[in-house]
Amino acid sequence: MITAMPSKLVASDGSCLLVFTGQAYRTVTWGLAGPGTLSILTSTTDANGVAMARYNPGSAGDTPTVSVTYAS
Amino acid sequence: MPTLTSSTFFTVANQATAVETVQLVVVPAGTGAAGGYGRLVHPTLGTLDYTLPPHQWTNLDSDVIIPPTWAASKTLTSTANTLWPGALRDVVVTEAWLPDAGLSMPMPMLRLMMAFYLNPPDLAAGQYVKWYPTYSSALGFNVILEGLDIDGVTLKMSPQTKGSELIEFPISLKIRPVSRLP
């Protein structure tokens, strides 16, 4: 599950923290389809199964999609 | 002495992968939650635009309210009063979200606020959380997040908070301004 914090609406001068929750100690691959940039904070889930990335937006009106690929 | 040899083969299979996605919507700066509800900016974790503005706050109007400091000493015939001007760092601002309307704030907002509180930036490197209380002031400040209380207790959690997207408890964030942003 990916949670966008604080919400899926991102101000063009702000950012959004994306939190993936899955199994502990697994490698995950973050992906971004659309404008903006994705800063990967953790590419492996921690003991709680959490990995994080930060999305920095492009311009207003964009609808980027962030994905996480992981071993199921 | 004879030598016995045994061997076997095994196949390393590709593990199945799964993909999860989330779609975001970029809105213009200064609209919606970014238009006057308040904002915190963490140097690593990014921006927290309040989904809801605080219902109450203390020591803040159009600027941080800095009270003067008085000291009184008894003398032989009376009392000597001494006055010092206060400083920005003396003040703690509290933002409070109350469950008056049934909820105080959404869970993702609280979780991000907890992440900001639990991961303080490196003060020795001059990094601070930036705070823009746009619901009351046009100013911005470098701040330290001193406390985060849920229902009056530091980071109190319950099945209600864990299992819901909405928080019914009052939440208060204690903020100590360090300097004004240019």
Nearest to B140 by CA among A65, A13, A47: A13
Spatial distance between the Cα atoms of B58 and B38, rounded to a whole number of angstroms: 14
Under an 8 Å CB criterion, which residues of A touch B? 1-20, 36, 41, 52, 54-72
Task: Report pLDDT digits (tens) over B126-179.
Answer: 899 999 999 999 899 999 999 998 877 666 666 555 555 667 788 899 999 999
Q: Which residues of B touch A51 (CB under 8 A)?
A: none
Pairing of strands A16-21, A2-5: antiparallel
Q: Where are the domains of chain B?
A: 32-70+79-180
Mutate to test the interface with B, among A2, A9, A45 (most CBs of B within 10 A): A9
Nearest CA in chain B to A6: B109
Residues in chain A: 72
Task: Report pLDDT digits (tens) over B44-75.
Answer: 999 999 888 999 999 999 899 999 989 999 99
Nearest CA in chain B to A10: B26
Taking residues A30-40, what's their average pLDDT? 94
CB contact under 8 A, A70 and B18: yes
Nearest to A66 by CA among A23, A12, A17: A17
CB contact under 8 A, A12 and B44: no
Q: Tell me the residue type at B110.
A: L
What is the complex's ipTM, to 2 decimals?
0.93
Instruction: Give the E-state strand segments of chain B in sequence order.
Output: 17-23, 25-27, 39-42, 46-49, 56-58, 69-74, 79-84, 93-97, 105-106, 129-132, 141-150, 153-154, 166-167, 171-180
Q: Which residues of A touch B46 (CB under 8 A)?
A: 14-17, 54, 56
Q: What is the pTM of this model?
A: 0.82
Residue B84, both tokens: 């010092």
